[in-house]
Homo-oligomer: A and B are copies of this chain.
Amino acid sequence: MTLVIVKPRKGIVPTESRRRMVESAAILLATRGLDGTAFSDVLEHSGAPRGSIYHHFPGGKDDLVEEAMALAGERALGVLDAVVGQPPIDITQRFLDVWRQVLIRSELRAGCAVLAVTVAADSTDLLDRAAAIFRAWRVRLADLYIQGGMAADPARRLAAIVVSATEGAVVISRAERSLEPFALVAEELLALTPTA
């Protein structure tokens, strides 16, 4: 089981308030979007001290956002470590669980921070980071499916649709404030996944 931690940058000691800021940013991005998440919101939500923003994130908001996305990215990857070597159906189930929990715990108010950044990003840099995370999820799922006995091509296609459909379903369930769209998609994705 991979430890889910924020990767500290070289030379920067990760303090507690810094860690909380990244954590809060991830939640707020997933809930209010990129431009809806101001530094002031992150400070309020995290309880972090006002004066330390540019100390911890010299590159400004983009620095913070990149780390928050990375955190979200590693969280989803980390959860998959628990099902290494298990059949494909368990892999899909586990990935779906992550996002079902996000929806339920937030009362259908939060979604995916990476997706939120993608649709509002104005810099290629942020887009690159988002792309890397989506790709990492897809590649990781495909690998696990292959380990679970699937051939490479079907595994890659399944991984692609699992990530895409889940992301889309989260957005739509948020919009409708109902778990129904997500549940329908989950059912179909599981039906698509080999049981052994």
A192 to B158, CA, bound (A): 11
Interface residues of A (CB under 8 A from B): 32-36, 111, 114-116, 118-120, 122, 127, 130-131, 134-135, 138, 156-158, 160-161, 163-169, 171-172, 174-177, 181, 184-185, 187-189, 192
Question: Are A187 and B157 in contact (CB-based, < 8 A)?
Answer: yes
Given contact pairs A160-B185, A166-B168, enumerate 16 new A-B contacts (beta carbons under 8 Å): A33-B34, A33-B119, A33-B120, A115-B119, A118-B172, A118-B175, A119-B119, A120-B120, A127-B175, A131-B175, A135-B176, A161-B185, A164-B164, A164-B181, A165-B165, A192-B192
CB distance from A139 to the nearest CB of B (A): 11
